[in-house]
Amino acid sequence: MSQYPALRLRRTRSTAWSRRMHAETVLTPADLIWPLFVSEGADEEPIATLPGVSRCSIPKIVERAREAVSLGIPCIALFPNTPGALRSDDGREAFNPDNLMCRTIRAIKDAVPDLGVLTDVALDPYTSHGHDGLVDAAGYVLNDATAAVLVDQARVQAEAGADIVAPSDMMDGRIGLIREALEQGGHHNVQIMAYSAKYASGFYGPFRDAVGSRGLLKGDKKTYQMDPANAEEALREVGLDLAEGADSVMVKPGLPYLDIILRVKSEFQVPVFAYQVSGEYAMIEAAVAAGAGERDALVIETLMAFKRAGCSGVLTYHAPHAARLLNP
């Protein structure tokens, strides 16, 4: 009997074709959602803390939408940089049917109707104080009053043509209210992707620059976003959102919460998405700029980690780069 084992696991890794054949996880452009920032300003305005990412005018966003289709990316996610003059304590621009978000949705649907459009439902791009909801005199975000406004926001987005509304505010009970309003409005096929486990993270800084809320934010968001120490609470949040009518759920941020993704998928067996957030993107780009890593390998490896943990898809600013790598 040979001293070596009969089974050598390296056998199946010895050639490229065999590695492809034995791959347990598959990543394709269809797994990607591309977040885009729209503004009223110039065609493209680079975001200093997000190298390679820009705020874009509506015509430029339409170009990006066409690019997504050409790359096989099935869906884009829209986030507005609302002009300062339109921001207010009550965030009323959020439910203006002719606001920047709604005009962008209509332009995309006119140009590329078969591309999925996901829209953010939260008030932080519209409030003068930078919070995701309405605040009282003490600065506390009011749950029920905010949820009522979010219903109006989701309604105007659906009427403009949004395919998926994605409440990212973390108010209790808002999924059920939004689902009821969509059904009553005849928007039976508009999906809800609930940001169910959104943590009060230090990885959101560049995003707040992109939507113009970083300098406005008074205090923090710890009274409504989740404590990074908690995992069981994430399962409770997901269970509630599913019971209220969410079609899919999201964990945000991504890589620091792979354990949460895995637990949610294992517990509920529903479509789970992750947001590879701005800080995660910026760290990869910083590593590349410093010569500490190679972009192609880092992008694919991190996206594969999300899929391996159980994600149906990933929101990532690297979506077009990854799609080019993955396309034959």
- List the structure tokens of 8: 């050598």
- List the structure tokens of 185: 């409005």
Selected catalytic residue, list 60, 198, 221, 307: 198
CA angle 70, 249, 260 (to 5 degrees): 110
- Exposed, middle or buried by CB within 10 Å (0-12, 13-18, 19+), for 200? middle
- Exposed, middle or buried by CB within 10 Å (0-12, 13-18, 19+), for 4? exposed
| CA neighbours closer than 13 Å in the CB half-sphere of residue 61 | 33
User: Quick check: 174 and 195 in contact, CB under 8 A?
Assistant: no
How far are the Cα atoms of 37, 42, 99, 103, 160 from residue 106, in angstroms, in the given order? 15, 20, 11, 5, 6
Alpha-helical segments (H) within 212-271: 232-244, 258-268
> What per-residue confidence (pLDDT) applies to 1?
54
Domains annotated for the chain, with CATH where assigned, are 26-326 (3.20.20.70)
221 has catalytic annotation: no
Selected catalytic residue, list 60, 221, 252, 265: 252
CA angle 304, 60, 93 (to 5 degrees): 95
252 has catalytic annotation: yes
- Neighbouring residues of 128: CB distance < 8 A, sequence distance ≥ 6: 87, 88, 89, 216
Q: Is the dihedral of CA 192, 133, 218, 48 positive or negative?
A: positive
Tens-digit pLDDT string for the chain (328 aa): 567 778 889 999 999 999 999 999 999 999 999 999 999 987 999 999 999 999 999 999 999 999 999 999 999 999 999 999 999 999 999 999 999 999 999 999 999 999 999 999 999 999 999 999 999 999 999 999 999 999 999 999 999 999 999 999 999 999 999 999 999 999 999 999 999 999 999 999 898 888 877 778 888 999 999 999 999 999 999 999 999 999 999 999 999 999 999 999 999 999 999 999 999 999 999 999 999 999 999 999 999 999 999 999 999 999 999 999 999 8
> What is the signed CA dihedral for 205, 209, 212, 216, rounded to 10 degrees?
50
- Strands (E) in the chain, as ranges, are 32-38, 44-46, 54-56, 75-80, 116-121, 164-167, 191-198, 248-252, 272-276, 313-316
| CA neighbours closer than 13 Å in the CB half-sphere of residue 291 | 0
User: Quick check: 123 and 163 in contact, CB under 8 A?
Assistant: no
